[in-house]
Amino acid sequence: MVSYKELGLVNTREMFAKAIKGGYAIPAFNFNNMEQLQAIVKACAETKSPVILQVSKGARNYANQTLLRYMAQGAVEYAKELGWEKPQICLHLDHGDSFELCKSCVDFGFSSVMIDASSLPYEENIALTKKVVDYAHQYDVTVEAELGVLAGVEDEVSSAVSHYTKPEEVVDFATRTGCDSLAISIGTSHGAYKFTPEQCTRDPKTGKLVPPPLAFDVLDAIMEQLPGFPIVLHGSSSVPQEYVDIINANGGKLPDAVGIPEEQLRLASKSAVCKINIDSDSRLAFTAAVRKVFAEKPGEFDPRKYCGPARDLMEELYKHKITDVLGSDGKLAQC
Ligand SMILES: [Zn+2]
């Protein structure tokens, strides 16, 4: 048993309380490799933003859960080297799908876990979530739960259709499970193809797809039921067109990739939404930078020469998200 506190990590409780009060959201960035982690830590240290490092099922399969945990521990030390005296870094399990997995993360030094039982019937979701909460809270590890179903594909989490969270269920769910935050479904979606062209309209000037707006009425109704309760948005990449264009101009093929407009995420950040998950955008930044190097310098074979520019572009993306979308810059707690 390793406590996250020994590793210098923090849970989400204080982060979320401050974010709700301050009208901003904490970035939750997924990481799978060293370059991504370096970019996240550098961006957060420079902008003075708290951060949630997320480990998904796909990341665990790709990079190994043990290695990722030690990388997060390394991230704390790296942040200190960058002059971030008391790093506010949370290590979070993204989309945990069983009690055993959540327990293993709690026991291994994660400071926060998500139990996603949203695909189960309501009562089973409550029972499993409560079991995880009861275990995690013994060690002061915070728990995110999910109610409602997001569409899209994220690693091994996928659903063809979304079901908005029912506002009439949230009080019962939060009370009976004791969860610390709630991921809801209001129209965000996993992956780089969040909407089909049929679900969108087309901008007559640019020919680009315009996605349907988020269901802010559902969010408002949830906040009315659960005032001041931390809300989480998954699937909140905006799929920047500039990256898609670079990819497509350099041999890639991402037709009609579409995300959530940043203005809508900015608006959500000012509400009780205090954690916004961004994964696909950094994948796009990484791919755009790598494709550009390969197209311009076909003789390049040193991975540092293409992973380096990828890291730089991801760092730029993370800073932009923190400063211009989530508003978490300069929000390190005074402790
Ligand atoms: Zn997700």
DSSP 232-264: EE-S-----HHHHHHHHHTT---TT-B---HHH
pLDDT of residue 212: 86
Token representation of residue 202: 């087309």
Q: What is the 3-state secondary structure (H, E, C) of 176-228?
A: HHCCCEEEECCCCEECCECCCHHHCEECCCCCCEECCCCCHHHHHHHHHHCCC
pLDDT by position in tens, the chain (length 335): 999 999 999 999 999 999 999 999 999 999 999 999 999 999 999 999 999 999 998 899 999 989 999 999 999 999 999 999 899 999 999 999 999 999 999 999 999 999 999 999 999 999 999 999 999 999 999 999 999 988 765 555 556 566 899 999 999 999 999 999 999 999 998 888 888 888 888 888 877 788 888 999 999 999 999 999 999 999 999 999 999 999 999 999 998 888 999 999 999 999 999 999 999 999 999 999 999 999 999 999 999 999 999 999 999 999 999 999 999 999 986 54
The model's pTM is 0.95
Q: How far apart are CA 114 and CA 133, in angstroms?
A: 10
AA identity, residue 45: A
Q: How far apart are CA 274 and CA 270, in angstroms?
A: 8
Q: How far apart are CA 76 and CA 8, in angstroms?
A: 7
The rounded Å distance from CA 100 to ligand 1 centre is 19
Q: What is residue 327's three-state secondary structure?
A: coil
Please answer whether residues 109 and 91 qualify as being in contact, where contact means their C-beta atoms are separated by less than 8 angstroms. Answer: yes
Q: How far apart are CA 149 and CA 159, in angstroms?
A: 8
The rounded Å distance from CA 137 to ligand 1 centre is 22
pLDDT of residue 335: 41
The rounded Å distance from CA 319 to ligand 1 centre is 21
Contacts of 303 (CB under 8 A, 6+ apart): none
Q: How far apart are CA 27 and CA 130, in angstroms?
A: 26
The rounded Å distance from CA 165 to ligand 1 centre is 15
Q: How far apart are CA 136 and CA 102, in angstroms?
A: 8
In this structure, how many other beta carbons lie within 10 angstroms of the beta carbon of residue 228?
10
Closest CA to 136 of 165, 160, 106: 106
Closest CA to 71 of 53, 84, 45: 53
AA identity, residue 161: V
DSSP 17-51: HHHHHHT--EEEEE--SHHHHHHHHHHHHHHT--E
pLDDT of residue 153: 59
pLDDT of residue 257: 86
| Residue tagged active-site, from 94, 155, 279, 329 | 94
Token representation of residue 40: 């996240």
Token representation of residue 208: 């680009």
> Cα dihedral sign for 233, 235, 238, 242?
positive
The rounded Å distance from CA 150 to ligand 1 centre is 8
CA 67 to each of CA 11, 62, 279: distance values in angstroms, whole numbers, following the listed order: 20, 10, 19
Q: What is residue 140's three-state secondary structure?
A: coil
Please answer whether residues 148 and 48 qualify as being in contact, where contact means their C-beta atoms are separated by less than 8 angstroms. Answer: no
Active site residue 312: no
Token representation of residue 68: 């990722």
DSSP 51-102: EEEEE-HHHHHHH-HHHHHHHHHHHHHHHHHTT-SS--EEEEEEEE-SHHHH
